[in-house]
A and B are shown apart, each in its own frame.
Chain A
């Protein structure tokens, strides 16, 4: 099977690579993953997921086993760590190997007890094989799986979405103002770290949303707003300095004009 692996590495650089669909650089083509021979539906979904496209994960990262082993018995042998379909209670732990933050806050929230079959697990909202980037829009559909028509839940979802969306808009506004001013005042690049820091503070809210607790989210947003305000002060100072320099130019030319006038007067006196 080594030639297959070699092929997997070489193929993206050959003309044939275009026919294979989107195989990310360095990733194994999905058709070379033997699991998909039987689990073709899962394979098709997984091929579109961010885990395959960007994460360079394969089946074994959650299920164990050896996805590049053609013999089904050997691929699922005990020494490969094969676990098959994870137990419902164990899903959060698998996801938490990489996504520890969301798992930690999820445990604080109303959906916490993973053993309770009435509660959702990670994959209820984020899907199991077709995992895509999580956005606020996910809440529109995912919450309705269980809470369809529940006005209180719909209202709460809207509050969360609006609060986060507005904070993001404030970040984008700060970023675009920073960029446009940096074009004029190159020295601002030394304060770029503050802007990046503010963005990082805002991103801390992502895991916190999993607790579905408005207070926890507000903490992050308050912290972000403080940082964003500091960035705003730096930008205000830059604009102020620029304005002061403009006035200085006006002053310089008044001085020049006065002196040239005097020189002209002097010359008429000669």
Chain B
């Protein structure tokens, strides 16, 4: 058999399938590695704000003070005003730094590139173009609950 000249099409088929086998093997490894490395679904987070040392409480915020905590909605900045608490997303829309409340200027400021927002989330100055999002804040016995602001 081996001395009979192999026909062209068969040769091409065998070559193609061998190539497919190699590609399949590599795909198997790569796919497995991909599945292995795929990030685990992040913790859904809580509706209650969590700080460095556990749940944050309304008492943690002094007059004209502020606090930043994690929640299901991401990092949230809560500022105490005379008529209650105001909540804003705390991630700067420019390059993702965490903003802070400056009581002296009465503005929300980003330390990275100087973006400034007012308490409506609107951009006052600096490189940011998109506003921060206002969230609804309620004080409950367990802590500070944040929920998406209802439209309108």
Instruction: Assess A/B contact in the complex (Cβ within 8 A).
Output: yes
**A contact set with B: CB distance below 8 Å:** 255, 258-259, 262-263, 265-266, 268-269
Taking a contact as CB atoms closer than 8 A, the residue among A255, A259, A266, A268 that contacts B15 in the complex is A266
A–B Cβ pairs within 8 angstroms, 16 of them: A255-B21, A255-B24, A258-B17, A258-B21, A259-B21, A262-B14, A262-B18, A262-B21, A263-B18, A265-B10, A266-B15, A268-B1, A268-B2, A268-B6, A269-B11, A269-B14
**B contact set with A: CB distance below 8 Å:** 1-2, 6, 10-11, 14-15, 17-18, 21, 24
User: Chain B residues near A263 (CB, 8 Å)?
Assistant: 18
Instruction: Indicate whether A259 sits within 8 Å of B18 (C-beta atoms), given known contacts A268-B1, A268-B2.
Output: yes
Q: With contacts defined as CB atoms under 8 Å apart, how many contacts are there between chain A and chain B in the complex?
A: 23
The dominant DSSP class at the B interface is helix
* Residue ID in chain A nearest B2 by CB atoms: A268
User: Chain B residues near A255 (CB, 8 Å)?
Assistant: 21, 24
Question: When chains A and B are docked, how far (Å) is the Cα of A211 from the Cα of B130?
Answer: 68
User: Chain B residues near A269 (CB, 8 Å)?
Assistant: 6, 10-11, 14
- Expressed in whole angstroms, the minimum distance between the Cβ of B140 and any Cβ of chain A is 31
Instruction: Indicate whether A262 sits within 8 Å of B17 (C-beta atoms), given known contacts A255-B24, A268-B1, A268-B2.
Output: yes
User: Chain A residues near B21 (CB, 8 Å)?
Assistant: 255, 258-259, 262
A255-B21, A258-B17, A262-B17 known; 15 other A-B pairs, CB under 8 Å? A258-B21, A259-B18, A259-B21, A262-B14, A262-B18, A262-B21, A263-B18, A265-B10, A265-B14, A266-B14, A266-B15, A266-B18, A268-B6, A269-B6, A269-B14
